[in-house]
Structure 1
């Protein structure tokens, strides 16, 4: 049982785990194994004669005979204007982690395949206490425009490891030099399945901490961020508890940070940690 002080944080976990699978979605099969869950609303796209040979669609499943067909399907559906592509390829993996093909990032929630990303807590120690660099997302972002975000966060593009993705995003989003970004430490990995307007998100988040020099100031580098703000971690804690200002999945990574910093009492910490990490 959570105390009244900690219970408001539970809504963020529940929001990100609002999908009870399969929830009417059809399995996407490759070599007899499910690698995704297809939105029924997209079945008419995939049953189009243009997809013949690339996919087999029945009322029970969508079968992918060759993982490399995913690129062809992505390009075909983009030409048909079925979706707005990101023009960014993400690896699609089997349950054992084998890469079987690539898909345009925008189709990940349509096919319900698992995607990976990195989130980094940019921390600064001062005499007054611990601070966190917070970004405000550009109002032009396709997803969650204007929301508060991590200093560095991004999806894991095809061919990159989590560490490589972190270094890439750190330079692109906040102009963090590679030698400094390499000091970031992987501290946690989080999972969730969430129904969103764009479809089903089955995300794996690699969470990092990086302690930055007091004189470091991030710079807007790629237009994905509107501004950066250095906040006391207690203020970030308050905003996560009392508001929905942060992008939906950022709240999970911040909750993991708060737990590691000992910002909850012992009983609340045990309960929240078990729920956050899927043990409760």
Structure 2
């Protein structure tokens, strides 16, 4: 494969392309045909036209709000479903029916894990939803990601990267952060991160508790699965030189310790799960390994991540 330089593409250009692709919904041709999903007069999701064509057959669960021209302006979860449990049960039955009918590819990867559906961070949950269906309803999902690093006496700062199992339902075999996971029903951000540290990388709780919260990244992108609205809580953890992460739960194929130059090269080779590439890039920016002096598109990269929504 030709190098970026031989193709006239700088590292900055490639890194910025990754960020733009991850937050591509604002440029989607389908954006203007989408309508909001509303619960208790609060917007909780975004529905594609292809989804509307199926939800219309469940009038006891979904009410289509139309304008004077008969065009759908929004879809409202029936107000008769006036409790968390009632909404969760009714919507789950719809999702199960759509899965059995084979209506949407994303439902083939049923996860048996529920996510809370809220209007925004720290707002009360209005119902719970099978993880595989979150992109179908365009609801925001939440996760925790950990950048694990060491201070190597010869190579300087190095990052531990994970290669996802080839049997993973999403992004099999691609590079990932040291540990990461979705925040399911009944779990807090920190509990999720500590659990994923142990389950994915064999990091004991006593060590994982030393992680430092370093912010969030939030973005919306369109893919074959639907609309992904995601917010990832990010953590850094400095690890001892003599600690080696080990796969435990089968979700990771291997771990690699990479110096900064190797990490920068891997980020732009499209070998990373896209959001993990962005979270790794954020680490490089925060720690000064990507700076305005070294990268001409530095300001655009920072601005892009700042303006994600």
Which residue number corresponds to residue 86 of structure 1?
A: 111
CA contact (8 A) 1:148 1:246 kept: yes
CA contact (8 A) 1:133 1:230 kept: yes
Structure 2 residue ranges without an equivalent (≥5): 1-8, 66-71
Q: Is 2:193 the partner of 1:166?
A: yes
3-state SS of 1:99 partner:
coil
CA contact (8 A) 1:116 1:203 kept: yes
Aligned-partner Cα distance in 2 for 1:265–1:119: 23
Q: In structure 1, which of residues 194, 207, 229 is the aligned counterpart of residue 221 of structure 2?
A: 194
3-state SS of 2:141 partner:
strand
Deviation, structure 1 residue 79: 4.4
Deviation, structure 1 residue 264: 2.6
Aligned-partner Cα distance in 2 for 1:205–1:178: 21
CA contact (8 A) 2:164 2:174 kept: yes
CA contact (8 A) 1:171 1:177 kept: yes
CA contact (8 A) 2:198 2:204 kept: yes
Which residue number corresponds to residue 120 of structure 2?
A: 95
Bigger Cα displacement from structure 2, 20-29 vs 143-152: 20-29
Deviation, structure 1 residue 45: 2.9
Q: In structure 1, which of residues 17, 22, 36 is the aligned counterpart of residue 23 of structure 2?
A: 17
Which residue number corresponds to residue 29 of structure 1?
A: 38
Aligned-CA RMSD value: 2.0
Bigger Cα displacement from structure 2, 58-67 vs 108-117: 58-67
Which residue number corresponds to residue 204 of structure 2?
A: 177
Query: TM-score if structure 1 supplies the norm length?
Result: 0.91
Q: Is 2:132 the partner of 1:77?
A: no
Deviation, structure 1 residue 277: 1.5
Q: Is 2:158 the partner of 1:131?
A: yes
Deviation, structure 1 residue 76: 3.8
Name the CA shift for 1:132/1:238 in 2 (closer, same or farther; >3 Å).
Answer: same
Structure 1 residue ranges without an equivalent (≥5): none
Aligned-partner Cα distance in 1 for 2:13–2:221: 20
CA contact (8 A) 1:74 1:107 kept: no
Aligned-partner Cα distance in 1 for 2:199–2:89: 26
Ranges of 4+ aligned residues in structure 1 off by more than 3 Å: 267-271
Bigger Cα displacement from structure 2, 248-257 vs 258-267: 258-267
Aligned-partner Cα distance in 1 for 2:274–2:117: 23
Matched ranges for 1:234-249 at <5 A: 234-241=261-268, 243-249=269-275
Determine which structure has more spread, i.e. the larger CA radius of gyration: 2
Bigger Cα displacement from structure 2, 116-125 vs 22-31: 22-31
Aligned-partner Cα distance in 2 for 1:28–1:76: 15
Which residue number corresponds to residue 47 of structure 1?
A: 56
Number of aligned pairs? 274
Aligned-partner Cα distance in 1 for 2:286–2:161: 18
Aligned-partner Cα distance in 2 for 1:193–1:100: 21
Query: TM-score if structure 2 supplies the norm length?
Result: 0.83
CA contact (8 A) 1:6 1:264 kept: no
Encode CA deviations 1:200-223: one digit per residue, 9 max, x unaligned: 011101111001111111121111
